[in-house]
Chains A and B, each alone.
Chain A
Amino acid sequence: MVSAIYILAVGLGTAFLLGLLRDDWRAGAYGVSLAALALMSLISAGWVWVMAAGDGRAVEILTAGTLPPYAINLRMGLAEAVLTLLINLTGLLSAVYLRDTLFKQGRRALATLLVFTMAACGIVLTRDLFNLFVFFELVAIATGGLVLLSRDQRALAAGFKYLVASQVITVLLLVGIIFAYHATGTLNIDGMAELSARVLQGGALAFFLMFIAIVLDLKPFPANGWALDIYESAHPAFSAMLSAASASAALFAADKLLLIGGPTWLPVATGIGIFGFVGANLFALAQTNDRRLLGYSSVAQVGLVLAVLGQRDLLGDRYLFIAGGILLAHAVAKAGLYWLSGLIEGRELKAWSALQGHPILIFAFASFIALLVGLPPFPGFYAKWELVIALAGEGRLALLGLILFGALLEAGYLFRWFGQALKRERSLEPVAASSFKRAVILSAVAAGWGLGYIWGALSPNGNLLLAVPLLFALVFLALEPLSVRVKNSVAIVGMVAWFLLTLPSYDPLQLIFAAVMLLGGALVLLASYQTQGRRIGFYPSAMLMYAGLAMLILAEDAFSFFAAWESLTIGSYFLILRGQRSEPHALSYMVFSLGGAFLILAGFALAAGGDPLFSLAGLAQVAAPIAPWVFLLLAIGFMTKTAAVGLHIWLPGAHAEAETDVSPMVSGILLKAGLFGLFVLLMAMGGQQLHGIELTHILLWIGALSALIGNLMAAFQEDAKRLLAYSSIGQMGYALFGLAMMNHLGWLMALMFVINHFIYKSMLFLSVGGIAKRTGTRDMYRMGGLITLMPLSFIAVLIGIIAMSGVPPLSGFGGRWIFYNAILTADYRLPMILIFISGPIAFLYLFRLIHTIFLGQLKDEHRRVKEAPFWLVLPQMIFVAFLMVFALVPGLALRRVDAYISQFHPEGALGWEGLTITSAFGYWSPISIMIVVGVIFASLFAWLLFVNRKAQKVKQFNIVFAGERPYRPETTHFAWNFFAPYRKALGFMTEPLVERFWAAVVDVLHASADLLRRLYTGNGQTYAIQLLAFVVVVYLLRTGL
């Protein structure tokens, strides 16, 4: 392999050569520069290959034919090779991106770009302190030049502020270097590291000055106004270089300095880093300018990497994997986002709505955001997993918490931005059409996915990009040009095939969940046949969610469980976001879900005790002092998905605003993921006590309250889909209650709810969706009398509410029966009463569904309404059939599960004799119940027909709207605010206290961000003062500690 010094020589030589070219020979100069950058990239790539294929031992490069420390030496190792490759590729791609600008500006600009790239590589390669300084100055000066490539006039002032700051940094760095030299007699970094003790005694102050100067080159929060101004005003291609190339190089320099500083200075790096990560992410919340927002995000990510550098003592040989994963993911994503921003005319976040109608660019946008947040299957995900496990294993919990909190803030503003781009009114400004620029962006996307693959291959936890379900979901990206019918069929076949393939490996519990999620999912997908066109974006998202669910069920270790959990979260987020008015709801879903996911991550990390390969079965071995905390974290995490009261505010909007066929997916199927998690948790850990409080008892209360509040809220809704959504909160409350009872029947009942809730909620969402589609409204009081026009929908709703309300003869009754048996065995009286009360409340809202929509007066505008489309009705009818069968022979599904649960709760198993089921308190014979109810129903119906045989038929519209005013029906319609008296009595319980609480949290965060960011006054001198203040404060804190 050619010596790495040629990277520098080629860069410099070409920069000098450009001066010899004629000024008007622009294309030639540009071509030569590109060739040089390509050559530099090639050399780096060659070294990456050598290092990865060989033993990875670093190669020393001598200069002047003299050994270090007497002459400057360079080093090329794996990290250096990867970083120089990153830098050179960023330079190359930015140069391609900047083609027009560079053509206009000529060879001076080209030379500056070459020197910038070369110098950033120099920072990475050199092992000499003063040489490091020289390269830093080169980068700073080149930055001063490249900032001016921008069309933005304000870039001039930004460049000057930058130079002012770099002058101050220079002073500190030089003083530090010379005194460090005095203390050790060498300028060689490794030589100094050997004499580390001497540096830290006699030269402690010198080291401090060097270290703080390099840290300042990382643009640490909050002494970084100068850098943010550059990020905002520079040409996006240059911001990409600044964020990807020069920040990475500076981080590597900080890493080298920490070799000298040793363990004493590691905590300082961590402190500065994590402060920046949280602070910059907080400030970013208040940003509306896209490039400045990205600048804040860069500062934050660099802070995170610095914090990781400070943890190198505990990361051992996984250090490069973790720090590198986060760093590279950030660099690629940030460069990509900056390049993408160059295609968009406006600078408001909302201006990114111009991307609508460009699915490939939206895919790029989504990929970059996922890279940045560290979602699977990208490198940051693997890195964060190992980092968090290691931190928890060592008990560095505060740091762990701050990292997760910062990451959540970051995800919050990034996904808010993504939602705005997708859902806001499409910006009229066109997206720049340059094919060069698009090619550059797409290569960043490819790099991101490629890195995801590599990190997966390097991870001991296995490569997610080789997981069949995930690959299947990704295939749909390639299938996008096909029509819905083809894609839908592929999806259904795929899901059923996967179910059959994995069938042998399920235990009975997993089988139930797999049947609901995969077969049930395939069934719900039938409804998707009714959509037309290509439905871009739907299938990859839906399949990602199903892939996550499929992997979740089969997960055996904590990592795959968590990866599956995040996959299904992302997929469902994209699905929910597709709804017409779902932007805010999708966001709150994402934030709650990620928050929950981070709690789960923290819980696993705490339980794992430093073992990244921790298996789920290991949860059972977690011992006393941590066990209840693990339990608590995991339980809360899972309850964000089941929307337990307090964590439920995302659900109504998300489920109600989703598309017709998406609502059943996210309600009937997705919610079960949370229940599955709770099952896994309770099976492994059982009950736990914290300070003498039985934690399952708390869950019991939460379940009961969720049931009560959910049902109550549902009763007061006017919007039919919202009603169903709130009812889900209540239903999940029942299931949670059952689980938390920690006895045989309780668990059986929870499983009953898994099946039942899936069937009737999917069915109801489909029929209500079909009705809303035909009538054009979801408000119940705008409907009425649809029974004759939509008879099949009516049957579905009727059966659905019978099943749901738990009256005989359908399966809901079975659920209730087990439930009542179960609570008779438990001794928690008060929550039991609550759960009893919520039963009748469910009647209230269910009654409205049938009464207001199908009975009463038909509205004039609905006279020509037709039955819902065939593909919506078909799955409903299948569900009806299922309900009937399940009502008749519940043993089909429950018997094996009952036996399975006996492993955990041997007492209280049911007796299964023939078709009769017996418990300690009585028996349940589904078939005889069905017969009895059938007979009663038939005789009543016959009697009704008999007494009404002489009734005269009247055309409904003869009686002129039956006293309703047709316009503004909500003022007079009897169905509007139907339960007003109950609301008067019980309304206090439906006060949106929880919503207000979370809104207040968000407000406080935003308001403080908005207030505090005024720190950045825009005055370059103030920035320099802040920089010095940062130095002094760090010094005081350091000496004070």
Chain B
Amino acid sequence: MIRRLFVTLLLLGLAGVFAGLVVSYSPDETLNLSARYYAEHTAQDIGAANIVTAIIVTFRGLDTLGEVTVLFLTAAIVGLVLSHGRREGGGSGRELPPAGELLGTGTRLLVPLILLLGAHVFVNGHLTPGGGFQGGAILASAILLLLLTDPLRRISHRLITAIESTAGLVFVGIGVLGIVLAGGFLDNRILPIGNLGELFSAGAIPIIYSFIGLKVGAEFSSMLAHLSETEDL
């Protein structure tokens, strides 16, 4: 009880800070320094129609590399944590009721479509809302669906890891190519930036984003697979 009271008091204090932030907040009327630059220069410098994508993949590409690494790291650690002391062939003793007809058929029908949608989302990341992370998450949802249908299904970790690693290496490799061929690490202008709005435009962005999509999909799948392989306690 005292703890709750104390926490409430502390949060009231924090709320005071937040209230201060809200009160002193005045919405911008015009774009600020950075945002104006992005609005005015993205089209000609980067060639991506989706400015957010330009920021994520190029201007703040290092963040995104870090972000991808977060997922990579999490997947690795989840694997490390959960594979720790796991008994071999675990789960074989369990008998689960078969998934319903509806789920089974639905899965067979939907999985290719979901994968296709995922690919579409990340390939068009520089043109439309969406991108590698969104697309990757959609890809992983296909895996989730598979696992829901058959919880005992084993997803090949080797395949997942191979995709993940290759995609990561390509990302870093393209980044380094940026230093060699263009203006710096992760510069997208190692390829022609093309015409705004076309699929093959914005230099290396579609490639990077596609690999990010694959990588994110692989990483989410890997985490899902690891979590589903845990035994019921």
Partner of A137, one of B6, B70, B179: B70
Query: Are A66 and B45 also in contact (CB < 8 A) when A5-B179, A175-B21, A182-B25 are?
Result: yes
Do A182 and B28 touch (CB < 8 A)? yes
Q: Of the 9-residue stretches A140-148, A419-427, A460-468, A771-779, which lies at the interface with chain B?
A: A140-148
Contacts of A46 in B (CB 8 A): none
Query: Are A105 and B73 also in contact (CB < 8 A) when A12-B168, A19-B165 are?
Result: no
Contact with B along A996-1019 (1 / 0, CB 8 A): 000000000000000000000000
Do A185 and B34 touch (CB < 8 A)? yes
Minimum CB distance partner of B11 in chain A: A1028
Q: Of the 9-residue stretches A77-85, A201-209, A277-285, which lies at the interface with chain B?
A: A201-209
- Chain B contacts with A in 10-42, Cβ cutoff 8 A: 10-11, 13-14, 17-18, 20-21, 24-25, 28, 32-35, 37-38, 41
Contacts of B7 in A (CB 8 A): 1025, 1028
Do B70 and A72 touch (CB < 8 A)? no
Contacts of A65 in B (CB 8 A): 178, 182-184, 187, 189
Minimum CB distance partner of A149 in chain B: B80
Query: Are A206 and B21 also in contact (CB < 8 A) when A13-B169, A72-B60, A141-B70 are?
Result: yes
For the complex, give the distance between the alpha carbons of A15 and B41 in Å. Answer: 34
- How many B residues face the partner with a CB closer than 8 A? 65
B146 to chain A, nearest CB (A): 22
For the complex, give the distance between the alpha carbons of A105 and B83 in Å. Answer: 10
Task: Tell whether B63 is near chain A: CB-to-CB under 8 Å.
Answer: yes
Task: Tell whether A806 is near chain B: CB-to-CB under 8 Å.
Answer: no
For the complex, give the distance between the alpha carbons of A596 and B74 in Å. Answer: 52
Do A130 and B63 touch (CB < 8 A)? yes
- Chain A contacts with B in 988-1041, Cβ cutoff 8 A: 1025, 1028-1029, 1031-1032, 1035-1036
- Chain A contacts with B in 100-147, Cβ cutoff 8 A: 105, 108-109, 111-112, 115, 119, 122, 126, 128, 130-131, 134-135, 137-138, 141-142, 144-145
A185 to chain B, nearest CB (A): 3
Contact with A along B63-81 (1 / 0, CB 8 A): 1011101101110110111
Minimum CB distance partner of B188 in chain A: A64
Query: Are A138 and B69 also in contact (CB < 8 A) when A71-B59, A209-B17 are?
Result: yes
Contact with B along A207-236 (1 / 0, CB 8 A): 011000000000000000000000000000
Contact with A along B186-220 (1 / 0, CB 8 A): 11110000000000000000000000000000000
Most chain B beta-carbon contacts within 10 A, residue among A19, A61, A72, A111: A19
Contact with B along A617-660 (1 / 0, CB 8 A): 00000000000000000000000000000000000000000000
Do B73 and A111 touch (CB < 8 A)? yes
Do A179 and B186 touch (CB < 8 A)? no
Do A1028 and B189 touch (CB < 8 A)? no
For the complex, give the distance between the alpha carbons of A130 and B10 in Å. Answer: 27
Task: Tell whether B144 is near chain A: CB-to-CB under 8 Å.
Answer: no
Task: Tell whether B87 is near chain A: CB-to-CB under 8 Å.
Answer: no
Partner of A63, one of B28, B74, B80, B184: B184
- Chain A contacts with B in 151-186, Cβ cutoff 8 A: 175, 179, 182, 184-186
Minimum CB distance partner of A109 in chain B: B80
B156 to chain A, nearest CB (A): 13
Do B77 and A112 touch (CB < 8 A)? yes
Minimum CB distance partner of B183 in chain A: A65
Task: Tell whether A18 is near chain B: CB-to-CB under 8 Å.
Answer: yes
For the complex, give the distance between the alpha carbons of A1028 and B169 in Å. Answer: 40
Task: Tell whether B94 is near chain A: CB-to-CB under 8 Å.
Answer: no
Place the interface of chain A in its size category: 35 or more
Do A12 and B13 touch (CB < 8 A)? no
Contacts of A62 in B (CB 8 A): 183-185
Task: Tell whether A590 is near chain B: CB-to-CB under 8 Å.
Answer: no
- Chain B contacts with A in 42-66, Cβ cutoff 8 A: 45, 58-63, 65-66
Task: Tell whether B147 is near chain A: CB-to-CB under 8 Å.
Answer: no
Query: Are A1036 and B21 also in contact (CB < 8 A) when A19-B161, A64-B185, A111-B76 are?
Result: no
Most chain A beta-carbon contacts within 10 A, residue among B3, B18, B60, B189: B60
Most chain A beta-carbon contacts within 10 A, residue among B37, B80, B161, B169: B80
Partner of B183, one of A66, A69, A179, A187: A66
Minimum CB distance partner of A111 in chain B: B76
Contacts of B179 in A (CB 8 A): 3, 5
Task: Tell whether A937 is near chain B: CB-to-CB under 8 Å.
Answer: no
Partner of B74, one of A12, A131, A141: A141
Most chain A beta-carbon contacts within 10 A, residue among B67, B73, B161: B73
For the complex, give the distance between the alpha carbons of A3 and B179 in Å. Answer: 9
Do A70 and B24 touch (CB < 8 A)? no
Task: Tell whether A982 is near chain B: CB-to-CB under 8 Å.
Answer: no
Do B21 and A179 touch (CB < 8 A)? yes
Do A144 and B77 touch (CB < 8 A)? yes
Do A16 and B172 touch (CB < 8 A)? yes
Task: Tell whether A9 is near chain B: CB-to-CB under 8 Å.
Answer: yes
Contacts of B24 in A (CB 8 A): 202, 205
For the complex, give the distance between the alpha carbons of A20 and B70 in Å. Answer: 18
Query: Are A70 and B66 also in contact (CB < 8 A) when A20-B165, A64-B188 are?
Result: no
For the complex, give the distance between the alpha carbons of A595 and B9 in Å. Answer: 43
Do A205 and B20 touch (CB < 8 A)? yes
Minimum CB distance partner of B158 in chain A: A23
Task: Tell whether A17 is near chain B: CB-to-CB under 8 Å.
Answer: yes
Partner of B32, one of A12, A112, A185: A185
For the complex, give the distance between the alpha carbons of A115 and B77 in Å. Answer: 12
Contacts of B34 in A (CB 8 A): 69-70, 185-187
Partner of B73, one of A138, A148, A209: A138
Contacts of B73 in A (CB 8 A): 111-112, 115, 138, 141-142, 145
- Chain B contacts with A in 121-170, Cβ cutoff 8 A: 158, 161-162, 164-166, 168-169
Contacts of B45 in A (CB 8 A): 66
Minimum CB distance partner of A143 in chain B: B77
For the complex, give the distance between the alpha carbons of A138 and B71 in Å. Answer: 10
Do A148 and B74 touch (CB < 8 A)? no
Do B81 and A148 touch (CB < 8 A)? yes
Minimum CB distance partner of A202 in chain B: B24
Contacts of B14 in A (CB 8 A): 1028, 1031-1032
B3 to chain A, nearest CB (A): 7
B182 to chain A, nearest CB (A): 5
For the complex, give the distance between the alpha carbons of A108 and B74 in Å. Answer: 10
Partner of B66, one of A15, A71, A122, A1028: A122
For the complex, give the distance between the alpha carbons of A187 and B37 in Å. Answer: 13
Partner of B67, one of A128, A134, A185, A1029: A134
Minimum CB distance partner of A195 in chain B: B33
Minimum CB distance partner of A1024 in chain B: B7
Contacts of B161 in A (CB 8 A): 19-20
Minimum CB distance partner of A172 in chain B: B14
Q: What are 7 A-B interface contacts by the 8 Å CB criterion?
A: A3-B179, A64-B185, A65-B189, A109-B80, A111-B72, A202-B24, A1028-B11
